[in-house]
Structure 1
């Protein structure tokens, strides 16, 4: 059955338009036109008139938890669903459940859960992100040192599975050979570099081997210096690699974020949340991570050992922070939350194209041939409604 959304304002991924109609059928956008062009004889029961701005749904490639759930603690489908519901409140329509450094048995359970979630078509699940365990101990952050290790056949078998949707693996290139990186890429893995103390040459070699991203730029990686460019320098120099950026006012100084955005080609910087269980929960929510208590203080999470421990950031918050803190246009901030991560994951392939999840699964635009993953923002640019595949998954 067709449905038509008539909206006051629409951001199609490129431009803003007034008084538009979006026609949806079978979870896919089939027409976008002026509301004035709608057939007057159309069934009024198929029409919804919406106040606010309709935008492409947000895509988050790094989501550890939300709604009180932590993927490492509960690597099952129920946890993934809880996380998805929590983030849908803030406009996330596609996400990668993210498992930080852990035991190989937990990794296997997480992979099974993601495979089942995809098989059951759970809303918003695009794949999985393994953040570790092949990281650098000096740059481990809040990751548990006891689980940081060299890559083995057991992990390679998990990473090579073909039932996990989009696969992202964050690794430290000083601890994983370029030959292994090439093998991962051949197995369909998007390799991101992070939690690393690698020098510039090692990072460039990893990029040449097929790595295509950097996990939470600036955080837990070798810094840019005048004589030692480090991982940050290699990330900013690369014309092809994407960078995830946490815009919460704590992880990256606003000036550093602006410098990075200006340095990179347009489209290669994407917003991520690195979200933890308190997203969508009360202000006093705290949780444990490998036996260490993590405490929320306002919009900041710190382990009792002192490290920043992920975020309580959500995607619409990241968008609005990018406007207020970084001075970006609202359109560019929205693209950093939708189009650019969709391109990184390979979901922006053009109208009518196919992706890992089947036909009509292009994301990042509101155009014919794209999936109807949509977010309605109110006048304060907060989420009032979220659609995944044309179905309402959150309404305020």
Structure 2
């Protein structure tokens, strides 16, 4: 790991657009951005964009979040190499005692985090409060949520995001309670109808988990949960590995959902060779670019955020638009203004790309943590 430089030079993506100039760094923050407006396609200078923010990460580097503290460190180190500077450690559906144990492990890790790893912002609790008829790759330990249990779980770790099936009896009350507590609620792993999705949004739910996957599909006389998302959502996550969702469906979602954002839903197999890995208590196999259960069900992904960026560009987004959906929008979804953007006062989390969109370096809090420096020093 390198010491922090004082300046980074190139095409800088700010919230107001591209500038050709320099980012001035002080004490891990962006002090100022200097330069003139530019079209980056007119030069070969590096592209500097915000570090990626991944709100759905199960694993990476051979490690699964459900394995505890050391596994969280490993997965966070792995994803930092691919430009993810902030993430939510994401749990799997499991027995109550296992969920509680791993929340304690993640909380312990966050008290003494690995400085050479992505920043772990908190927990995405994906399950166990889902529909047992729409498990996807989740183990068969679905439960019904209660307000009391949610309070118990939130006392164990900083849970920032929870996936729920809204059609389960009592989950409307839980959604209202979580919203009042400042927790973001996404709808997913659900057999709910369009009407149940819309009702959940009225109770405070504000997103959808891996849009199109593990939810009722759109039909013109039965719009389903997908229809509720396309018609009403401001935010939703999507897995742009071009395997979970067809490029045409991604384009549809981009037209309908203003702040659609990318997640990897990555497993222990991310950043690893083909072979067998764990996803919670399940054994999964990485081959042919995907991860599957023995019956062929897609089970998370091997996606990294730098590839998600290139995939978004391949379906028609500009680099600036793609960057927003990997950084600014997920940060905004969590209410974080200090990450996901390059502007004065924000954390100096910076990804550098060459003109072919190959990642060349990553800075976390202004420190070079991956790749080669291309800096000027004051």
Normalized against structure 2, the TM-score is what? Answer: 0.90
Partner of 2:359: 383
Q: CA deviation at 1:154?
A: 6.7
1:98-127 per-position Cα deviation (integer Å, ceiling 9, x unaligned):
001012222222222232233225441111
Which residue pairs with 1:4 in the alignment? Answer: 6
Q: CA RMSD in A?
A: 2.0
Is the partner of 2:189 in helix, strand or coil? coil
Matched, 1:99 2:88: no
Q: Which one scores higher on RCO, CA 8 angstroms, separation ≥ 6?
A: 2
Following the alignment from structure 1 to structure 2, what is the Cα–Cα distance between the partners of residues 286 and 135? Answer: 26
Could you tell me how far 1:235 is from its partner in structure 2? 0.7
**Alignment correspondent of 2:41:** none
Report the CA distance between 1:173 and its aligned residue: 0.4
2:264 corresponding residue in structure 1: 273
By how many angstroms is 1:163 displaced? 5.1
Gaps of 5+ in 1: 36-49, 349-361
> Does the Cα contact within 8 Å between 1:65 and 1:71 map onto a contact in 2?
yes
Deviations 1:195-239 (A, max 9, x none): 001011111111111111100000000111111111111111115
2:267–2:279 contact (8 Å) kept in structure 1:
no
Sort the Cα spacing of 1:367 and 1:293 in 2 relative to 1 into closer, same or farther, 3 A.
Answer: same
Counterpart Cα distance in 2 of 1:156 and 1:393: 36
C-alpha spacing 1:239/1:132, structure 2 compared with 1 (3 Å): closer
1:40 matched residue in structure 2 = none
Q: Does 1:132 align with 2:122?
A: no
Partner of 1:363: 339
Report if aligned partners of 1:4, 1:21 keep a CA contact under 8 Å in 2.
no
Q: Is the 8 A contact 1:160 1:184 kept in 2?
A: no
Secondary structure class of the residue paired with 2:214:
coil
The answer (yes or no) to whether the contact 1:64–1:274 under 8 Å persists in 2 is yes
Contact 2:147 2:177 in 1 (8 A): no
Distance between the aligned counterparts of 2:57 and 2:152, measured in 1? Answer: 19
Conserved in 2, the CA contact under 8 Å of 1:366 and 1:372?
Answer: yes
Inter-partner Cα distance in structure 1 for 2:33 and 2:278: 47
3-state SS in 1 of match to 2:275: coil
Structure 2 unaligned blocks of 5 or more = 37-43, 373-378
After superposition, give the CA deviation of every residue in 1:267-303 in whole Å (9 maximum; x if it has no partner): x100000000111112x23213466431112321111
Deviations 1:349-376 (A, max 9, x none): xxxxxxxxxxxxx112211111111111
- Corresponding residue for 1:23? 24
State the distance in 2 between where 1:327 and 1:394 align: 28
Spell out, residue by residue over 1:6-44, the C-alpha distance to the aligned partner (whole angstroms, 9 max, x if none): 3232222442222x1111112111111139xxxxxxxxx
Q: Within 5 A, what are the aligned runs for 1:244-393?
A: 244-265=237-258, 268-282=259-273, 284-289=274-279, 292-324=282-314, 326-348=315-337, 362-393=338-369
Would you say the 8 A contact 1:13–1:364 is kept in 2?
A: no
In 1, Cα distance between equivalents of 2:352 and 2:4: 19
**TM-score, normalised with respect to structure 1:** 0.86
Contact 2:268 2:277 in 1 (8 A): yes
- Counterpart CA distance in 2 for 1:168 and 1:158 is 15
2:207–2:233: 8 Å Cα contact kept in structure 1?
no
1:59–1:95 contact (8 Å) kept in structure 2: yes
C-alpha distance in 1, partners of 2:155/2:365? 26
